Amino acid sequence: MTPLSILLFVGVFIVSVHGGLLPTYITACKVHSPGFKECAIKNGNAAIPSLSNGDKRLGIPTFNPLLVPFIEFSSGSFKLNGTDVVVSGLPKITINDMKVDTGKKKFHLNVTCPEIVLDLNYNIGGKIASLPLEGHGKGKVVFYEPIIIYDFDYAEYDKNGNKHLDLKKDHLDVFPTKLSLQLNNLFNGNKALGESTNKLLNENWPEVLDEFRPAINEIVGAIIRSVLVPLSKKVPLNEIFTDY
């Protein structure tokens, strides 16, 4: 999110919200300036440590850690539900690239992170990487050095004399260099079978990732939209980008 993380939306708001909503830790940039990308990346990365602790005025929850009540991974006959999910690692996200095309109304963001860790209570069933799985208990999923790419199209609408962003088609991909899992209490607590299955899952992590990827992308995208949409309704574009 994610996998993985709400901080992905920061590329839109972190660099340029101003006026009454501008926190002291955010420095605005001009979207039409030749130096916009450099300014946005520099100021965005500088603001992430403060934003990770949350900001009630902007409606941003804490990411240190991020608490998610429920997630679901599903692919074919395989299904994993997670409750009371604790997502760690998001405060260490680094923005690498950001592009905003106000003419075509397109946005692009590329971020990386040392790792994103999900600790959760899981319930699993089905097959993954040709391995049958069944069980429930404590679990951990770690995405190592993920690259997260988020693109979306947007439209504009008028509200109280100001233009606001309306999120349209979006697409997100998470590309970790490695994935690891630890699922305790598999097969009703059969220790030997559980340990051998966890070992096989980690040895075949690329196949596991292929199964997880669509669900991971959707979960991370849903987290971004849950913050981006309400914020875009509150903050007009001329405050998001100072020269819009």
In a 3-state reduction of DSSP, which class is residue 223?
Answer: helix
pLDDT, position 227: 66
**6-240 in CATH: which number?**
3.15.10.30
Return the residue matching tokens 């875009």: 232
Q: Which tokens go with 123?
A: 């319930």
Instruction: Output the CA torsion 64→215→204→148 (10° steps).
Output: -50
pLDDT, position 31: 93
Between 15 and 99, residue with greater pLDDT: 99
Q: Which tokens go with 228?
A: 């981006």
pLDDT, position 59: 73
H/E stretch holding 103: none
Residues in the chain: 244
What ranges do the domains of the chain cover? 6-240
In a 3-state reduction of DSSP, which class is residue 112?
Answer: strand
Q: Half-sphere exposure of 103 toward its Cβ, with a 13 Å CA cutoff?
A: 1
pTM more than 0.85: no
pLDDT band at 167 (very low <50, low <70, confident <90, very high): very high
pLDDT, position 5: 40
Q: What percent of the chain has pLDDT over 90?
A: 45
Return the residue matching tokens 């991974």: 73
Please write the tens of the pLDDT for every residue from 173-224: 989 999 999 999 999 999 999 999 999 999 999 988 887 777 678 767 776 7
Please write the tens of the pLDDT for every residue from 123-153: 999 988 788 899 999 999 999 999 999 999 9
H/E stretch holding 222: helix 205-234
Average pLDDT, the chain: 84
pLDDT band at 44 (very low <50, low <70, confident <90, very high): confident
Rounded distance between C-alpha atoms, residue 136 and residue 155, angstroms: 43
**How confident is the model over 55-79, as a mean pLDDT?**
80
pLDDT, position 30: 92
**How confident is the model over 106-132, as a mean pLDDT?**
91
Q: Alpha carbon 14 to chain centroid distance? A: 15
pLDDT, position 4: 41
Instruction: Output the CA torsion 209→215→220→226 (10° steps).
Output: 180
In a 3-state reduction of DSSP, which class is residue 89?
Answer: coil
Q: Half-sphere exposure of 238 toward its Cβ, with a 13 Å CA cutoff?
A: 7
pLDDT, position 19: 44
pLDDT, position 74: 75
Between 228 and 82, residue with greater pLDDT: 82
pLDDT, position 238: 79
Angle between helices 205-234 and 191-203 (to 10 degrees): 80
Q: Which tokens go with 126?
A: 């089905």
**How confident is the model over 16-34, as a mean pLDDT?**
71
**Beta-strand relationship, 78-88 and 66-75:** antiparallel
Is residue 18's pLDDT more than 50?
Answer: no
Between 88 and 8, residue with greater pLDDT: 88
